[in-house]
Amino acid sequence: MRPSNTLGLRHLALTVKNFEACLLFYTDLLGMRIEWQPDADNVYLTTGMDNLALHRASASFIKNPYQALDHLGFILKTPEEVDIWHDFFCENNIIIKAKPRTHRDGARSFYCEDPDGNMIQMIYHPPLAK
């Protein structure tokens, strides 16, 4: 018998080479706050509903080819916020990979990169925005 449902995906850990730049991206630009920083190589960030851990990559770090992360999604409250975030990231020289568009299901999103090249989706998705 399967256990009861989980409470959702609310924790993600990334190993990043550009630790300081990624920390600034997620805190200064995305507005996450530091929940806990046990040392100079690890930090746990939150918006109050989630947890993103950044771990500094060692000099010999090689990404695992069998564990491929496609993108991280940040949920927005309205479709208009998608365009506001797009403009804000453009003003801050963030690499935009796909411009805002509305999807068939009513969602609206765009894609950009964090300083370590991780793909980020800024998305309004009606069922999750409630």
pLDDT, block means (10 residues), the chain with 130 residues: 85 96 98 97 96 94 82 95 97 97 95 96 91
Residues of 85-120 as b/e, b for ≥16 C-beta within 10 angstroms?
bbeebeeeebeeeeebeeeeeebbbbbbbbbbebbb
The reply to whether 44 and 91 lie within a common domain is no
The reply to whether 40 and 95 lie within a common domain is no
The reply to whether 127 and 86 lie within a common domain is yes
Domain that holds residue 77: 70-130
Query: Considering the entire predicted model, what is its pTM?
Result: 0.89
pLDDT of residue 71: 95
pLDDT of residue 110: 97
The reply to whether 20 and 50 lie within a common domain is yes
